[in-house]
Amino acid sequence: MSPDVMPETVVAATATEPAKQGRAHTRARAARRRRMIVAAARAVLLVAVLGLWEVFARAKIIDPFNFSMPSKIWDQVYTWVTHGTALGSLGEQVWYTLQEALLGWVIGVVAGVVFGIALGRIAFLADVLGPYIKVLNSIPRIVLAPIFVIWFGLGPASKVASAVVLVFFPVFFNAFQGAREVDRNLVANARILGASDRRVTLQVVIPSATSWIFTSLHVSFGFALIGAIVGEYIGATKGIGLLVAQSQGTFNAAGVYAAMVILAVVALLAEGLLTFAERRIFRWKPSDSES
Amino acid sequence: MSADTSPAIELRGASKIFKTPSGGLHTAVRELDLTIGRGEFVAVVGPTGCGKSTTLTLVSGLEEPTEGEVLVAGEPVAGVGDKVGFVFQQDATFPWRTVLSNVMAGPRFRGVPKTEAKQRAREWLARVGLSAFEDRYPHQLSGGQRKRVALAATFVNDPEILLMDEPFSALDVQTRALMSDELLELWEGTGASVVFVTHDLEESIALADKVVVMTAGPATVKQVFDIDLPRPRKVESVRLEPRFIEIYREIWESLGEEVRITRERGAANVA
């Protein structure tokens, strides 16, 4: 406690300061290095897979006719982009498929959310409809696609329908679960504060189910694309699925792969848009869960 | 006129029996008789899990009694009424609403126009000292601040009856004392009747006009103590007064026995 001890401790404290900064600095540098290594490893992996594919195909270790090769796939994409496909311009095919998928997705999502919330809130409905929904869900719904082509013809309606049946169930189950797992305290609080049943549903149940619903939106857009593509593959006048079917029919393996590449790009863009929307909607959530 | 002279809350032989998930019956509250006068601050203490919270849900109208009667302002309780405010033990602020919007929720649910609701909400936010935080979301606040939001959101509805279920039990000791003082200040202006459930005897004596000791579950009233400490009180200083310690000893004699019974039962269940 004597005053002459004081200066020493102060000196000690200031001496650790730069050391602490140095440590923080090295830690930041290590983190940056790690990120670079991860990115580099990713690039190496991609180049290695594509390179081996190309080399093996050219060396005839794998049959280039069946398996094609990255350079041919690239050529195919390039031709489609610059000269258009046999069905018309590539943009038109993408747009066609995207329209069908989007429409199917929106209808499926709206129906899934409405039914999910309704069954989650009204026990009577859940008890009556529950077993039927389980049965419908256990049907391999992709098999319905040919039936839809028979019912709705070669136009977009049959593709929208197969997208809807694929999208509906994951969205429904998540919305249902979300409505069921609403914090009971929040519901009790809203009721005490004077909310009617309708208000509780609209202003408590739906907002707290949104994080559940959004989880399913990511998966289900992929499902909508699958529904549209399979529908087109079975019978259509336009679209990427038809492109796949035609390429297959002309033994053009590169064409099948090229269509897949285009689809992947479309799906990634849609995913990006969805993530952007999610960030806007979930401003109220703590951001520490982001990785 | 009869409604004006009737007590704020009256429980007459109220019992609540729940079905347990395993199909058995669990009696949470048994033949409870309790009368709470207008403007009275009543604290309810009892061993943990004895059914104190159930008593509050009966008064609030969130649950109906299995037997007996619950009257609020002389009228039997049928569903959630507009006279009651409830502060919950856990966080019950709406995480997707801003602080201001949370406090506005009550008036908006009750059909008050938006501008008026906003104005009233701002008044209460000022009273709990959160005016600078009205645009924040609950997750950006500390536990004590969230509790203040909950208080403002409750008081903005001008409740005649204020039910509080261990509202400060999740807070640290210092924040708790501070919040208790703030609660007393807020309450003194309103004339509301308060039922404050807690397992903390000190808290209950420091806050209340009357302390109700409950028996080990199923809960019923064991004894009622009048607290004759003068108001206005400061929680931190009142607990050092000799009279406070006297009262504490007196009530603990009654409560301690129930706590012991609960503990022995717990031990028997484990064995």
Reference A108, options A174, A154, A155; nearest CA is A174
Q: Quick one: which H or E segment has residue B225? A: strand B221-226
Q: The whole model's pTM is what?
A: 0.77
Confidence of residue B262 (pLDDT cuts 50, 70, 90): confident
- In chain A, how long is the greatest CA-to-CA distance? 96
pLDDT of residue A11: 47
- Judge whether residue B25 has pLDDT over 90: no
- Residue A191 touches chain B, beta carbons under 8 Å: yes
User: Do B90 and A285 count as a contact with CB atoms less than 8 A apart?
Assistant: no
Which of B94, B106, B139 is opposite residue A286, by nearest beta carbon?
Answer: B139
Residue A27 to chain B, least CA–CA distance (Å):
28
Count the Cβ atoms, other than its own, within 10 Å of residue B59. 27
Q: Where are the domains of chain A?
A: 3-58, 68-289
User: Do B105 and A193 count as a contact with CB atoms less than 8 A apart?
Assistant: yes
Chain B positions touching A210 (Cβ under 8 A) are 96
B211: which strand partners? B43, B225
The answer to which of A55-59, A167-171, B67-71, B215-219 has the lowest mean pLDDT is: B215-219
Q: Where are the domains of chain B?
A: 38-63+159-210+223-270
Indicate which of B62, B64, B82, B94 best probes the interface with A, i.e. most A CBs within 10 Å of its own CB: B94
Which of B82, B91, B96 is opposite residue A194, by nearest beta carbon?
Answer: B82
User: Do A188 and B62 count as a contact with CB atoms less than 8 A apart?
Assistant: yes
Of all residues in chain B, what percent carry a pLDDT higher than 90?
A: 39
User: Do B157 and A193 count as a contact with CB atoms less than 8 A apart?
Assistant: yes
Q: Quick one: which H or E segment has residue B241? A: none
Rounded distance between C-alpha atoms, residue A103 and residue A100, angstroms? 5
Region A68-289: CATH code: 1.10.3720.10
| B169-212 residue pLDDT tens | 888 888 888 889 989 988 988 889 999 999 889 999 999 999 99
Confidence of residue B271 (pLDDT cuts 50, 70, 90): low
| Bridge pairing between strands B67-72 and B75-76 | antiparallel
Place of tokens 């484990």: B270
| B115-134 residue pLDDT tens | 999 999 999 999 888 999 98
- Judge whether residue B42 has pLDDT over 70: yes
pLDDT of residue A8: 46
Count the Cβ atoms, other than its own, within 10 Å of residue B220. 21
pLDDT of residue B150: 93
Q: What is the ipTM of this complex?
A: 0.86
pLDDT of residue A287: 63
Answer yes or no: are the C-beta atoms of B154 and B192 closer than 8 Å: no
User: Do A188 and B139 count as a contact with CB atoms less than 8 A apart?
Assistant: no
Structural fold of domain B38-63+159-210+223-270:
Rossmann fold (3.40.50)
Q: Is B233 helix (H, G, I), strand (E, B) or coil?
A: coil
Chain B positions touching A190 (Cβ under 8 A) are 94, 105, 109
Answer yes or no: are the C-beta atoms of B231 and B40 closer than 8 Å: no
Q: What is the DSSP letter of A236?
A: -
User: Do A286 and B90 count as a contact with CB atoms less than 8 A apart?
Assistant: no
Sheet holding B221-226, edge to edge: B84-87, B161-165, B193-198, B41-45, B210-214, B221-226
Residue B228 to chain A, least CA–CA distance (Å):
32
Indicate which of A182, A185, A187, A192 best probes the interface with B, i.e. most B CBs within 10 Å of its own CB: A192
Residue of B nearest to A208 (CA): B96
pLDDT of residue A17: 61
Reference B63, options B44, B42, B48, B84; nearest CA is B84
pLDDT of residue A214: 85
Q: Write out chain A's pLDDT in tens, 291 residues.
A: 444 444 444 444 455 566 667 888 888 899 999 999 999 999 999 999 999 999 998 888 888 888 888 888 898 888 888 888 777 888 888 888 999 999 999 999 999 999 999 999 998 999 999 899 889 888 888 888 889 988 998 888 999 999 999 999 999 999 999 999 898 889 999 999 988 889 999 999 999 898 888 888 888 988 999 999 999 988 888 888 888 888 888 888 888 888 888 888 988 888 888 888 888 888 777 765 433
Chain A positions touching B86 (Cβ under 8 A) are 188-189, 192
User: Do B109 and A188 count as a contact with CB atoms less than 8 A apart?
Assistant: no
